[in-house]
Structure 1
């Protein structure tokens, strides 16, 4: 009989660093007993941070690096005019949407 959850499991880590990060993340999921309200102290903070950065990179989001996207001044002016935002906010939105003013306005309309 096959395990229905087997397809949900990621492939096993290949490198030692990946195994260490996976172990640190697994430790976060370990349930604690009611008498121990404190957080586990044996977590490797560096491994957890590295694993979170890898997850962000895999999903296309990064908490440390900003996109290096050149935006057109006309697009900034259009977004400022249509969405009534500041130039810096318009530039930020355009960079987040790869300089596509239409995508910015669609995202803004969706909320």
Structure 2
């Protein structure tokens, strides 16, 4: 049979950590322990303190671009041999070589010149 525990001990409560060496470590430990501590706001979990004026200004600053139908990506046939040629000669990753070829409509010479010229 289990023995009764003293009133000061709560089930599931962790033992306090040993004091740390530096002040910075103590501050970090205090911040971490305060995360689990119950606060007065726990009763009103749905309510948050929000500055509505600042929130409104922040929302006005946001802009969302709508993708228009006129900016469609071109479908360009890319040869695997062209990708490996660019990757080996320009010493770039194959993804970058593929992007260069797409930008130049699959033309290897144009892709090389666009990579070399600033």
- TM-score, shorter chain, exceeding 0.5: no
TM-score by length of 1: 0.43
How high is the TM-score relative to the length of structure 2?
0.40
- Structure 1 or 2, whichever has the larger Rg, is 2
